Amino acid sequence: MMNSVPSPTGNVAARILAQEREDLEALAVLLDRHLARNDKILVQKTEMGGTEAYVGSVTLEWFASRVRFASRLPLFRQHVNQQTDNVDIDADSIEIIQQRPLDWSRQAPLAQYLAARKTHKFPPVLVVINRPWVDEPTAPEWDPYGLANKSAADFTPLDANGKVGLLDVSEDVTIFVLDGQHRLMGVQGLMELIKTGKLQRYKKDKKPLGAFITVDDLRQEYHIEPAYLQNLAKEKIGIEFISAIVTGESREEARRRIRSIFVHVNLMATPLSKGQLAQLNEDNGFAIVARKIAVFHPILKDVEDRNPRVNWDSATVAAKSTVLTTLQALQEMCDRYLGHRFTHWKPSEKKDLIPMRPEDKELEKGISEFKQLFDNLATLPSYRRLEEGTETPEMRRFSFEKDGGEGNLLFRPVGQIALTQAIGILVFKKDFSLTAIFQKLGQYDANGGFSGMDKPESLWYGILYDPNKKRVLVAGRDLAAKLIVYIVAGTDDDMERAELRRLLAEARTIFDRSMGFDGKFTEPRDVGLPPVIN
């Protein structure tokens, strides 16, 4: 029997694998030793547009305690408003920086988002790293020509190419956020909530607003336990460091570079429109239901050879637009209708807490009920005309606009919201069935009740139509909803009827004279209520 002889190739491979394991173990020991320190952060060095940067991650607790707002850079110190942490703009500071003001009303919602959303995520922040010598012209780090002989960022490479290493963030280093000031604000709010058990809400200018948000509020509303909140402090956020000054740079050159980066990262950060937020929101139950109806309901969904019926982005609809409504309006309609049924989809306004995503079964029920509403809306004579080939601009335009139009409030988002708000009251507070409501509304629409809102004969003249500025009057939406409730359900309450008559007369009053339904001026007391639909 022959003895097997180990393959030389096999021995080499085994030695290579063993060496790789040893190298990895040594690297793990080295990293553990350095990562346990608070004065150095493991980073990767990058370069873009001539600017060196160092990318890493830090805990939320470290971020909140070590990073300061951009306004605290020594460059701006004499211009800082100590109350708001904003740069006061004057003839001097405007040449230093054009800074987006901090909006302190955002702190509480951002802190709540981190605390209440299990799937929360903040994008990385951009910060500038500074050292005391940068602001001392006589420091030895400056050469006789006023140029820096070293960088403010002290980076120790760990690889041969100098791409991965340790960045010094010891206590004498100061760090200022350039992009992510409101993220810093939100994380600081979370840390305050964790440490003190409460968080003050503010107005935009950091003036206190209302009651504190407390850990007890979060526990009751979102079932969040204190132990979970404590663990959030150890979560990590991405962070990118740039140096306040680099080798060979003058202080003025550094100032221009930092200002340019600050301005451009803010210019690139275009905020989402309300329509885009409605498209993307996966936590607001009303937004989710509205999207489903917009996509699938026959009166709204995209159909081949038919103009789109929903504006997915803008909050308004132009007179000549072929869309019927907007996604934002659909969300508000859903809120004002299903808000009666699913009150918990919208947390207490008093506490100003953010909503959580409803359970799937509730969402299915909400979609079903909102679909029933739109099934009935589609039966109204004005909307049936769409299926007969009439285009929305013909129905929407006022009579005096180019090519004329019907001036129908059902083709204006504000009118759609008012109508839905009224139907919600009739269904959920006055126990009317949708069938009974739409029998009356169908009759009212067939008689032209929703049309000609730009004419004095219309109930909506002065309420949803401003005769002075000849445009839609959004402020009259709630009164319009009350009037729709009245013409459908009537009222036995004399005080309620008198108050509604007063509000209607005021809306139709110009100076001291009111516009009667016959198109003639009359005394306010002579403006009566419309008849209830039989």
- Gap between the Cα atoms of 106 and 109, Å rounded: 6
Q: Enter the DSSP assignment of 179.
A: E
The pLDDT, as a whole number, for residue 349 is 60
Residue keyed to tokens 């204006």: 412
Residue 91 pLDDT greater than 50, yes or no? no
How far is C-alpha 74 from the geometric centre of its chain's CA atoms? 32
The pLDDT, as a whole number, for residue 9 is 64
Residue 77 carries which side chain, given as an amino acid letter?
A: R
- What percent of the chain has pLDDT above 90? 58
- Gap between the Cα atoms of 242 and 54, Å rounded: 7
The CA radius of gyration of the chain, in Å to the nearest whole number, is 32
Residue 290 pLDDT greater than 90, yes or no? yes
How far is C-alpha 78 from the geometric centre of its chain's CA atoms? 33
Non-local (6+) Cβ contacts of 52 within 8 A are 45, 46, 151, 153, 242, 243, 246
- Gap between the Cα atoms of 452 and 178, Å rounded: 53
Out of 74-88, 162-176, 178-192, 343-357, which region has the weakest mean confidence (pLDDT)? 74-88
The pLDDT, as a whole number, for residue 210 is 81
SS3 string, 122-174, reads CCCEEEEEECHHHHCCCCCCECCCCEECCCCCCEEECCCCCCEEEEECCCCCE
Residue 322 pLDDT greater than 60, yes or no? yes
Of 520 and 76, the structure prediction assigns the larger pLDDT to: 520
- Gap between the Cα atoms of 106 and 182, Å rounded: 7
Residue 405 in contact with residue 397, Cβ under 8 Å?
Answer: yes
Q: Each residue of 389-441: pLDDT tens digit?
A: 899 999 999 999 988 899 999 999 999 999 999 999 999 999 999 999 999 99
Q: Each residue of 150-169: pLDDT tens digit?
A: 999 999 998 889 899 999 99
The pLDDT, as a whole number, for residue 494 is 93
Token pair belonging to 86:
């904003």
Beta-sheet pairing, 40-48 with 164-168: antiparallel
Of 482 and 34, the structure prediction assigns the larger pLDDT to: 482
Residue 269 pLDDT greater than 80, yes or no? no
Specify which residues 53 forms β-bridges with. Answer: 46, 242
Non-local (6+) Cβ contacts of 22 within 8 A are none
pLDDT category, 23, cuts 50, 70, 90? confident
Non-local (6+) Cβ contacts of 189 within 8 A are 107, 108, 110, 111, 199
| Average pLDDT rounded to a whole number, residues 472-498 | 95
The pLDDT, as a whole number, for residue 26 is 80
Residue 280 in contact with residue 287, Cβ under 8 Å?
Answer: no
Residue keyed to tokens 């126990």: 431
Residue 98 pLDDT greater than 60, yes or no? no
Residue 351: its H or E element: none
Average pLDDT over all residues of the chain: 87
Token pair belonging to 133:
């010598």
pTM of the model: 0.69
Buried b / exposed e across 164-183, counting CB within 10 Å, b at 16+? ebbbbbeeebbbbbbbbbbb
Name the CA dihedral angle for 23, 24, 29, 34, rounded to a multiple of 10 degrees. Answer: 100
Residue 384 carries which side chain, given as an amino acid letter?
A: R
Residue 18 pLDDT greater than 60, yes or no? yes
- Gap between the Cα atoms of 328 and 276, Å rounded: 9
The pLDDT, as a whole number, for residue 377 is 97
Residue 99 in contact with residue 216, Cβ under 8 Å?
Answer: no
Q: Each residue of 184-196: pLDDT tens digit?
A: 999 999 999 999 9
Token pair belonging to 347:
């947390």
| Average pLDDT rounded to a whole number, residues 318-343 | 93
Crossing angle for the helix pair 494-507 and 477-489, to the nearest 10 degrees = 140
Residue 198: its H or E element: strand 198-199
The pLDDT, as a whole number, for residue 346 is 81
The pLDDT, as a whole number, for residue 80 is 44
- Gap between the Cα atoms of 20 and 36, Å rounded: 24
pLDDT category, 49, cuts 50, 70, 90? confident
| Average pLDDT rounded to a whole number, residues 251-276 | 74
Q: Each residue of 120-149: pLDDT tens digit?
A: 899 999 999 999 999 888 999 999 999 999
Number of alpha carbons in the 13 Å side-chain half-sphere of residue 144: 0
The pLDDT, as a whole number, for residue 95 is 40
Of 43 and 10, the structure prediction assigns the larger pLDDT to: 43
The pLDDT, as a whole number, for residue 268 is 61
Of 71 and 77, the structure prediction assigns the larger pLDDT to: 71
The pLDDT, as a whole number, for residue 423 is 98
Residue 117: its H or E element: none
DSSP output for 67-133: EEEGGGSGGGGGGB-TTT-PBPP-TTGGGT--PPPP-GGGHHHHHHHHHH-TT-----EEEEEE-GG
Specify which residues 310 forms β-bridges with. Answer: 325
| Average pLDDT rounded to a whole number, residues 240-262 | 88
Residue 75 pLDDT greater than 70, yes or no? no
- Gap between the Cα atoms of 250 and 146, Å rounded: 6
Q: Largest alpha-carbon pair distance within the chain?
A: 124
| Average pLDDT rounded to a whole number, residues 317-340 | 92
pLDDT category, 10, cuts 50, 70, 90? low
| Average pLDDT rounded to a whole number, residues 6-23 | 77
The pLDDT, as a whole number, for residue 82 is 52
DSSP output for 452-512: -TTSTTSTTBTTTEETTTTEE-GGGHHHHHHHHHHHHH--S-HHHHHHHHHHHHHHTEETT
